[in-house]
Structure formats: C-alpha cells, structure tokens
Chain A
Amino acid sequence: MPWLTILLALPIVGGLVLMLQPRLSAGAARGIACLVAPATFGVACGLLFGFHPNRGPQRQERHDWISSVGLEWTLRLDGISLALVMLTALIFMITVCALVVKFLPERNPAVYLGLILVAEGALMGLWLAGNLLLFYVFWELMLVPFYFLIGVWGAEGRRQAVTRFVIYTMFGSLIMLVGIVATGVFAQRVTGQFTLDIEALRGVVFTEDQSRWLFAAFALAFAIKLPLFPFHGWLPGAYGTAPIAVTVLLAAVMSKAGAYGFMRIGLPVFPDGAAFWQNTLIVMAVVGIIYGSVVAWRAPTMRLVVAYSSLAHLGFVAIGIMAIDPQAAQGAVLQMVNHGLVVAAAFAVVGLLARRSGREGVDDLGGLADGAPWLAGVFLMVTMASLAIPGSNSWAGEFFILVGAFRHSAWAVILASLGTVYASVYMLRLYQRTMNGPRGATPGKAVEMGGADWAMLAPLVAVMGVIALWPHGVLRATEHSVERVVAPAQQALNRPASEIKAAVPANPPETSLPLPGDPLPQPTSPTPNTGATP
C-alpha cells in the first residue's frame, strides 16, 4: 500500500470534501473532521512499525507527474520526516478534535475545518517530498489554507497581517523557485541528467559560487518561514490576529518547515554553500534569540509573549542545524518536536485565558491560581518546559544543541545561553502575572479547565513527559538520518573524519562515463570520499 500517499491524501481529500459541500450539515462536517484527523494520526502511527532507523530514506513511492519540468511524485520517509509527521499528526488531531468539540467558529465551520485538514495534508507532503519541485508545490500549497484561515476568521487587522504574511513567504519561496530551476540546470551540466530528485542531487559537485548562491536562494525562503531574525516581520501580525487554533498550528507545525528545509535540502545538496553561510546564519539565529527574548519580556499581550518566545526557541533550532555537527543537529530535530508540543500547549493555555476572561493583556489578569489550581499546574509545567528547566523535554534538546555547537562555535553558544536566562525571565513573568499576585478582575474559577480543555492539554503534556523521560526514543529514530544530512557539509568544512559518521557518495559516480565536453579524467577525483561507512 502507498501509505505515504495515503497519509497526505487522506486529510486533503477530507478537507476538499468539507469545503466543496456547502450544504453539508454541521454535524456531518464535524463527523468527517473527527474521523479524518485521527485516521491520519493512525496512519502516521502505522509508519512507526516497519521503520528502520539505520536505513536512510525508505518507503519510497515514485511516479511521473510532469516530467518536462522534472516534477515527480516522489515521497520518502526518513527519521527526520518521521518525527515531524508524528508531531503534525498529533497536533492536528488534538486541534481538530478540540475545535469540533467546542471551539468551532459560527461562520462556515465546515470550510474552516476543511482548510485545516488541507493544511495538514500539505505539511505532510512537505515532510515527505523527495523532489525539489514537489517540495515547492507543498510549500506553496500550505500557504493557501493559512491565508484563508487568517484572512477570513482572524481578528481585527487580519487583512494587513495576512497580506504581509503571504508577501513575505512568497518572496522567499519564489526566490527558492529560481534556485530550484538553477539547481536543475547546473546539476545537469555536471551529471548530464535533468533531475530535481533530492537524493539524486545529493553530492553533486557545484562550483563554489553556484553552491553559495543556490544555498542563499533556498536559505532565504527557509529563514523567512522559520523565521530568523531580520525576516520575522510577518510573525507578530500573523500569530496575533489568527484564530487561536490556527496560531497553534502556525507556531507548532508550520514554523518547522523552514528548519526542515535547511536539513532536507540546504545541508545535503549545497554543502559548500552551507559552510560559507554558516556563521552568518548562526549570527542571525543568536540575534533572533536575544531579540525575541527581550521583546517577549516586554510584550503587552500574552499571545505575543508566546509568539516571540517562539522566535527565540527557533533560533536554537537554527543554531543546532547550522553548527553542522551531528549531535547539535539531533538536538535540533528533538527541539523541533519539543517546541511544537510546548508552544501548542502554551498557546492553548493563553487562548483559554483570553477567551474566558475576554482580555489579552499580560497585566489584565492576576491571581488566577487561587480559583484555578489545575490550570495553574498545567501552565506551570508548560512554562518550565518552555524555559528548558533541567529534566524537562526541552532541556534535552537544548542541551544537545549547545553541546554540539560548543565544539565549533563556542562564542555562539555563550551568547545563545543568554536566551535560556531570558526565557526564565519572560516565561516566569507571564506565569506570575497571570497566576500569582493580587487577584485581577477575572476570578480564577471562571478560567478553570473544563473537560474539553483537558482533552486538549493532557495529551500534549503527556507526550512532553514521555520525551522528557525518554528523549532517546526520538534521538534513536533520527540518529542515522541526521548523520546522513550533516555529513556532506561536515566534509565541506574539513571536519576530522572521526566526526563524520555517514558516507558521502560522489555524484556523478566515479564509474560513470564522461559527458561530451568534459575534461579528460583527472588522476584524483574532485570529491575525496573520506567518510567512514557506519
């Protein structure tokens, strides 16, 4: 069975059915959504069985689509994809079920649910795409549902926010499109074959200039999506005006697309470019961490505190990837999952507070723990996880990132550690202002968690607990995939062979016949194969 295709087709088809059936009764719409999202999660769980952590990409599904432009329906699963697929399926299932049970908007609920499911399908496609152009298709496709979700159901100021969001993202992605075109054309000159298959492009020897500029074209799109520091202009607006459920999806899942892009395409296909831009990107990430933390500290509304904290946390992920070290990169993957869980829970709590009290400001509330002990308890756990207190799930991820990065860029780690200090400042401020201190206008009883809130938060907290106790589970599944991703860039940086854990094949293979116009074979191959096979 083509399980990967099913995994992404299921939500897309379900979503389209919901959207194109205007006369569907609300009950039927809820039923379909409630069936599709858990079914998708079920398929995702099914992928866990039969997953071989020591193999690279697996479960390949490949069909021709539009061969004249190199577009193929190629799906592959590796450890990194698997981690994100599981995260996506879980977060979407929880969000959709919570929406269905309680929080559906009055306006066009079926279309709303349909768009969310399409977004899920697009994200799944993004994690699984094995072809650059297919990756791009899903990259753009995921923008459409979010555009409408924010643009139609958002709060005041949504129009400006959503336009800015789209223009930022599209700017990056169209430059990426040029990058894709150029990658195909330049690779053809080296290998003699026009392909946009990511695995086939791995190890292609671009000239240094090509690699630098191509990496930059892709990195821009990823940096905007992540977002890295100077490209975060869309973030406050989009996170601030979107319906809270959509904000959860944006922050928990969609923001991983940028980081994933760096790992899937940036490092393996353009190792020289990654080596060249490494320090620039690390500086951007560090500035983002500090900037995000400082702004989160003084942010006026609860939502913006979490939004900017997200900026800081993703800065850690970016450092983990750009440190170009297997350990740091593993930490980055773990941290992607952690951040998804934590930020989803944080936004859920903040959304709950805002909805029940009718206020968004940090200073509007106070002393809620008195009447809402359960909420305060859960919120405290989320806060602690968010500031990565030792023993929490985020701590494992951040620790891996910092240790891995310390080997090569100690200065970045020292500066980034400021971020962990700041995190306790802004998260504790948020917690203390709302939960402790003098009572505000809203009594604590009014915000205590009900059944639906429990159903939403309990699974998130439970998974956070599991990862906190057993991070090895995620690390083990991703170890080999991450090593494979990082190895080419490590080679480009001339790291000692003992650190490079995966082989980098020469592309085109040394045994292949020369192209017409190629110089006569040289005695030494341009890419010495120094990697040790695991």
Chain B
Amino acid sequence: MNIAATPLIILIATAALALVPALVGPVRFRRDAPPALALLGLAAAGVMSVLLWGDRRATFYEAFRVDRLTVLLTLVFVVSGILTVLLSLREPAGVDRRPEYYCLLLCAVAGMTLVAGAADLIGMFLGIEILSVALYVLCALEVWRERSLESGLKYLIVGAVGSALLLYGLTFLFGVTGTTSLADIALRVDARDLGGESLLLGAMVLIIAGLGFKAGAAPFHMWAPDVYEGAPTPITTFMATAVKAAALAAFLRIFGAALIDVIDDWKTPIAVIAALAIVVGNVGGLMQSSFKRLLAYSSIAQAGYLLIGVATGTLDGATAVLFYIIAYTAMTVGAFAVMVIREREVEDGQSIAALAGLGRSNPIVAAVATICLLSLAGFPPLAGFIGKFMLFGAAADADLVWLAVVGAVGSVISLGYYLRPIYAMWAEDSRPEHARSLDPGAPVLFVVLMSGLGVLAMTGGAHWVTEVCRAAAESLIAP
C-alpha cells in the first residue's frame, strides 16, 4: 500500500475512534479518553508526515499528492490542532460534548490535509467541504449559548455560499480545460494559451471569491467577526489559524501552480483583494472593545498580508506565504490562549478591559501576549516582521510596490489596536471586579508558553525556517 495517505488515514481513524469511549467504560475513561486519543492521533499524524518529507508521492488515483508543501502544511494543521485540544480541555463545549468535539476537530484537520495535498479539483473541494462542515458544527457546539448557535448558523450560510461559488468556479475551470487534475490544467492552460479567455476569467473570479470566503479576506469577510466572537474560543483559534492556512494552501495550489501561466489575469484581482483585506481588517479593528472581535479583524488583515505573497506568483512570494503562515499560527494561538486564560479567570474575559493589570498579576502571560501582539503588528525583529519583510520584498520584486505600501500603512493603522491590549496589560490597574481568579489550568499555560517560544524561535531561527519553507514552495511548481 502506498504510505502517502497514512497521516490522513490516521486522522480519520482516530476521529472515528474518539466517538467510542463515550459509550463504554468508567466515568474517568469516558472523560479523558477522547482528548487523549485526539492528541495521540494528531501526534501520530504529525510524525508520519515528518517521515514523508522528501520526494513527491501521490495516491487516491493521483488526487492527493504528498510533497513537501503538503507535509509542511499538515504539520501546521496538526500543531494547531494539538494546541486547540489543549486549549479545549476545560472548555464547556469540550466537556459537555466531548466525543463529538474531538471527532469533528480531527475531521477538520483531515479535511485540511486533503486541501493542502490536493492534486485534483475534486479532492480539493472534498477537503474544503469536510473541514467546513466539521466547523459549522463545532461553532455551534455550545448549544445553550445563543451566540454560539448564531455563530454556527452564520458560518453555515455564508460558508455554503462560499462553497457554492468555489464549486461553480471549479466547474468552469473544468469546462475550459477538460480535466480536473491540477497538473494537467497547468499543461493545458500553457499549451492552449488561454490567457484572457473569458470562461477562464469567470472561473478565476468565482474561485477567488469562494476561497476568499474561506480565508476571510475582504470583501468576503463580513461573517468573520460574528462567527469568531460567537464560537468557543479554542475553535476560534483553530479557525483563525488552520482554516486560514488551508484556504491559502488552496490559493497556492490553484493560482501559484496550476494557473501560473495566466498570472497576468489574476495578479491584479488578488492584489486588490489583499489590499482591501488589509485596509478593512485594520480599520475595522480600531473600533473594537472586545479582544476577540479585535483578533477577528486582525485575522482579516493578516489574510490580506498572506494574499500579497500569493499575488506575486513567485517562488519568493510562496516562501514568504508559508513562513508567514507558520509565524502567524504561533502568534495568533498565543493571543487567543491568553484570552482563554482571561475568560476562565474573570467574567467578561473577552473584552480588552479584562486584560488590565495582567502585567502585574501574571507577567509571563502578559509578556507572551505582548510579544505575540507586537509580532502580529510587524514589530522588528520579531517573526511577524520577518514574514512581512519577506512578503513586501516579494511584492516589490514582482512590481507590486503599491501593495507593499498599502501593507505598510495597514501595519501602522493596526498598531492603533494592537497597542491597546498591550497598554491595558502593562499601564492600567486591574479593576476590582476582575479580581477573582479561577485556575486556568496547566495545559493552557503550556500553550501560552509554547506559542511565545514559537514566535521567539522563529525570530532567532528564521534562516532555517525559511530554508524549509523554500523547499516546500519549490515542490509547488515541481513537475
């Protein structure tokens, strides 16, 4: 048997297995087994992916290809999944509906893996649907909370629209080229010189819109703040990091590889969407009083930064995207984990005001949050800065200097809101109503520390991470 699919199989198998302990065994077993199984499955999938690093392998009738890009992104998904599990351990939704929760989470990771390794339009769409359906349910899993239900419903409706647009676009693409294989599409687009072909243009517009919905890039972002706010915070973390990475993977697979020969047709639209996302996300973030919504807007802007790299259509651009995805995952998880801590410690923990005085009561957590937020804002020499620098460099090299300028101005605006939580943490005194404290639990603190260390490691070891990202990006265009 071809071993290329092993991570995928492990994930699906563990997902099914995680449902079983709910039915049998003593109470403790029912309580602890599903998350333990999930962690085990994710870790095993991660290890298997690392072992697959190297040459390209294909499986499922060439619909799923495991190359370096797939491996790298699978690792991002797996790590993001593990951190989400750790954040979820005491989360109400995770406690109440333990088996479904972890089953769905693993399904989502499996779907993402499928997207990252898609070599075929159908495989890609399948992956996107698997992850979306799992997340519709996960968002709404705190059924006793209206906001959670609202979040799930909104995500379902908007996500369905996005999926429909994407599917429509993919069928157009099939109509023009007569094949669903991404590699064959690249060959035929090149051979038939399809640049400017109107059906292909329509296909690209629809695909950009569909994937734009999934990535949460403006103008397809309007669902993001509400959905992110209503969903259980660990799920929001997962959506903000892994789902975005999966959508970007799809962008890279379709535009960075299959349609690279008609770059002149899609370069400007994607650049415009990137610019819009940067502006909308950063300006929208300025007016938020909720930390969670603030991070939601931040993630819209970050999607814009990631799209800069896609818009360049170069190897440097793809490398920068991958680097930034990894850095972004670390810093966003850190920021959300701090919020999980505050949610458990105080009431109204999602507001920026709840962070007041954290610098004194818990300096380590506050320091990690500060590092993560500064990194998100692109403060040198942190990982986020290095990523942005690489993205801007790729943009300048691809004659998109204006986009780099928009990105830079957006970063300035973003400081307006990234500095507010930092200011609250260090300069404001904690309020008396925020005084009482529940123990947030060791796993969450572990996540906080790991993400802080992750950002610092990516800052110090940027060179090596870039090498890995470059190798992954090269596999994108390798035959």
Q: Which residues from chain A sit less than 8 Å from chain B, CB to CB?
A: 20, 22, 64-69, 71, 133, 136-137, 140-141, 144, 147-148, 151-152, 159, 163, 166-167, 170-171, 174-175, 177-178, 181-182, 184-185
Residue from A20, A159, A170, A184 in contact with B415 in the complex, judged by beta carbons closer than 8 Å: A170
When distances are taken between beta carbons in the complex, the residues of chain B under 8 Å from A22 are: 360, 363
Is B196 an interface residue when CB atoms closer than 8 A count as contact? no
When distances are taken between beta carbons in the complex, the residues of chain B under 8 Å from A71 are: 381, 386
Is B21 an interface residue when CB atoms closer than 8 A count as contact? no
- Bound-state CA distance A141–B407 (Å) is 20
**Interface with A: B3-11, B203-211, B391-399, which one?**
B391-399
- Bound-state CA distance A185–B399 (Å) is 10
Is B404 an interface residue when CB atoms closer than 8 A count as contact? yes
- Bound-state CA distance A185–B423 (Å) is 36
Question: Are B466 and A68 closer than 8 Å at their CB atoms?
Answer: yes
Question: Are A178 and B405 closer than 8 Å at their CB atoms?
Answer: yes
Within residues 389 to 427 of chain B, which ones have a CB less than 8 A from any CB in chain A? 389-390, 392-393, 396-397, 401, 404-405, 407-409, 411-412, 415-416, 419, 423, 426-427
Number of contact residues on B: which range applies?
20 to 34
A166-B419, A171-B409, A178-B401 are known contacts. Are A68 and B390 too (CB-CB below 8 A)? Answer: yes
A68-B390, A163-B416 are known contacts. Are A181 and B396 too (CB-CB below 8 A)? Answer: yes
- Report B309 CB to chain A, min CB distance, Å: 13
Question: Are B393 and A167 closer than 8 Å at their CB atoms?
Answer: no
Is B28 an interface residue when CB atoms closer than 8 A count as contact? no
Residue from A137, A163, A175 in contact with B380 in the complex, judged by beta carbons closer than 8 Å: A137
Question: Are B466 and A175 closer than 8 Å at their CB atoms?
Answer: no
Question: Are B423 and A151 closer than 8 Å at their CB atoms?
Answer: yes
14 pairs from A and B in contact (CB 8 Å cutoff): A65-B381, A66-B386, A66-B463, A66-B466, A136-B380, A140-B379, A140-B380, A144-B379, A163-B416, A171-B409, A175-B408, A177-B408, A178-B404, A178-B408
- Bound-state CA distance A170–B410 (Å) is 11
- Bound-state CA distance A185–B316 (Å) is 12
When distances are taken between beta carbons in the complex, the residues of chain B under 8 Å from A147 are: 419
- Bound-state CA distance A404–B317 (Å) is 48
Which 6 residue pairs of A and B lie closest in terms of their CB atoms, listed nearest first? Answer: A174-B408, A68-B466, A137-B380, A152-B427, A66-B462, A185-B396
Within residues 367 to 391 of chain B, which ones have a CB less than 8 A from any CB in chain A? 378-381, 386, 389-390
Query: How many contacting A-B pairs (Cβ < 8 A)?
Result: 82
When distances are taken between beta carbons in the complex, the residues of chain A under 8 Å from B401 are: 178, 182
Question: Are B466 and A174 closer than 8 Å at their CB atoms?
Answer: no
Which chain A residue lies CB-closest to B392?
A181
When distances are taken between beta carbons in the complex, the residues of chain A under 8 Å from B378 are: 174
- Report A313 CB to chain B, min CB distance, Å: 28
Question: Are B392 and A177 closer than 8 Å at their CB atoms?
Answer: yes
Residue from A67, A144, A167 in contact with B463 in the complex, judged by beta carbons closer than 8 Å: A67
A140-B380, A182-B396 are known contacts. Are A174 and B411 too (CB-CB below 8 A)? Answer: yes
Which chain A residue lies CB-closest to B420?
A163
When distances are taken between beta carbons in the complex, the residues of chain A under 8 Å from B466 are: 66, 68
When distances are taken between beta carbons in the complex, the residues of chain B under 8 Å from A184 are: 393
Residue from A140, A152, A159, A174 in contact with B426 in the complex, judged by beta carbons closer than 8 Å: A152
Question: Are A167 and B412 closer than 8 Å at their CB atoms?
Answer: yes
Residue from A137, A170, A171, A178 in contact with B381 in the complex, judged by beta carbons closer than 8 Å: A137
Question: Are A185 and B393 closer than 8 Å at their CB atoms?
Answer: yes
Question: Are B463 and A166 closer than 8 Å at their CB atoms?
Answer: no
Question: Are A141 and B463 closer than 8 Å at their CB atoms?
Answer: no
Residue from A20, A170, A174, A178 in contact with B396 in the complex, judged by beta carbons closer than 8 Å: A178
- Report B458 CB to chain A, min CB distance, Å: 10
Question: Are B412 and A69 closer than 8 Å at their CB atoms?
Answer: no
Residue from A137, A151, A171, A185 in contact with B427 in the complex, judged by beta carbons closer than 8 Å: A151
When distances are taken between beta carbons in the complex, the residues of chain B under 8 Å from A141 are: 380
Question: Are B392 and A178 closer than 8 Å at their CB atoms?
Answer: yes
When distances are taken between beta carbons in the complex, the residues of chain A under 8 Å from B390 are: 68-69
- Bound-state CA distance A65–B380 (Å) is 13
- Bound-state CA distance A37–B363 (Å) is 26
Within residues 441 to 474 of chain B, which ones have a CB less than 8 A from any CB in chain A? 462-463, 466-467
- Report B108 CB to chain A, min CB distance, Å: 32
- Report A494 CB to chain B, min CB distance, Å: 29
When distances are taken between beta carbons in the complex, the residues of chain A under 8 Å from B379 are: 140, 144
Question: Are A174 and B412 closer than 8 Å at their CB atoms?
Answer: yes
Which chain A residue lies CB-closest to B364?
A20
Q: Give the interface centre of B379, B389, B416, B467 by most chain A CB atoms within 10 Å.
A: B389
A22-B363, A181-B392 are known contacts. Are A167 and B462 too (CB-CB below 8 A)? Answer: no
- Report B143 CB to chain A, min CB distance, Å: 41
A68-B390, A68-B466, A185-B397 are known contacts. Are A163 and B409 too (CB-CB below 8 A)? Answer: no
Residue from A144, A159, A175, A177 in contact with B389 in the complex, judged by beta carbons closer than 8 Å: A177
Question: Are A181 and B393 closer than 8 Å at their CB atoms?
Answer: yes
Question: Are A181 and B389 closer than 8 Å at their CB atoms?
Answer: yes
Question: Are B412 and A171 closer than 8 Å at their CB atoms?
Answer: yes
- Report B195 CB to chain A, min CB distance, Å: 24
Which chain B residue lies CB-closest to A174?
B408
When distances are taken between beta carbons in the complex, the residues of chain B under 8 Å from A66 are: 381, 386, 462-463, 466
When distances are taken between beta carbons in the complex, the residues of chain A under 8 Å from B405 are: 175, 178
- Bound-state CA distance A175–B406 (Å) is 9
When distances are taken between beta carbons in the complex, the residues of chain B under 8 Å from A140 are: 379-380
When distances are taken between beta carbons in the complex, the residues of chain A under 8 Å from B386 are: 66, 69, 71
Question: Are A148 and B427 closer than 8 Å at their CB atoms?
Answer: yes
Which chain B residue lies CB-closest to A139?
B380
Question: Are B462 and A68 closer than 8 Å at their CB atoms?
Answer: yes
- Bound-state CA distance A152–B419 (Å) is 13
- Bound-state CA distance A446–B73 (Å) is 70
- Bound-state CA distance A167–B467 (Å) is 34
Question: Are B389 and A69 closer than 8 Å at their CB atoms?
Answer: yes
Residue from A20, A64, A69, A171 in contact with B393 in the complex, judged by beta carbons closer than 8 Å: A69
- Bound-state CA distance A68–B459 (Å) is 12
A69-B393, A148-B427 are known contacts. Are A181 and B404 too (CB-CB below 8 A)? Answer: yes
- Report A148 CB to chain B, min CB distance, Å: 7
- Bound-state CA distance A177–B404 (Å) is 9
- Bound-state CA distance A67–B411 (Å) is 23
- Bound-state CA distance A52–B190 (Å) is 62
When distances are taken between beta carbons in the complex, the residues of chain A under 8 Å from B467 are: 68
- Bound-state CA distance A71–B389 (Å) is 10
- Report B360 CB to chain A, min CB distance, Å: 8
- Bound-state CA distance A147–B467 (Å) is 35
When distances are taken between beta carbons in the complex, the residues of chain A under 8 Å from B463 are: 64, 66-68
When distances are taken between beta carbons in the complex, the residues of chain B under 8 Å from A152 are: 426-427
When distances are taken between beta carbons in the complex, the residues of chain B under 8 Å from A170 are: 411-412, 415
When distances are taken between beta carbons in the complex, the residues of chain B under 8 Å from A163 are: 416, 419
Q: Give the interface centre of A20, A67, A71 by most chain B CB atoms within 10 Å.
A: A71
Known: A66-B386, A66-B462. 7 other contacts (CB 8 A): A68-B467, A69-B390, A69-B393, A151-B427, A170-B412, A177-B408, A181-B392
When distances are taken between beta carbons in the complex, the residues of chain B under 8 Å from A136 are: 380
- Bound-state CA distance A159–B428 (Å) is 11
When distances are taken between beta carbons in the complex, the residues of chain B under 8 Å from A181 are: 389, 392-393, 396, 404
When distances are taken between beta carbons in the complex, the residues of chain B under 8 Å from A67 are: 463
When distances are taken between beta carbons in the complex, the residues of chain B under 8 Å from A166 are: 415, 419
Q: Give the interface centre of A69, A140, A182, A184 by most chain B CB atoms within 10 Å.
A: A69
- Report A382 CB to chain B, min CB distance, Å: 33
Which chain A residue lies CB-closest to B387?
A69
When distances are taken between beta carbons in the complex, the residues of chain A under 8 Å from B412 are: 167, 170-171, 174
- Bound-state CA distance A137–B423 (Å) is 21
- Bound-state CA distance A140–B381 (Å) is 9
- Bound-state CA distance A137–B427 (Å) is 24
- Report B346 CB to chain A, min CB distance, Å: 21
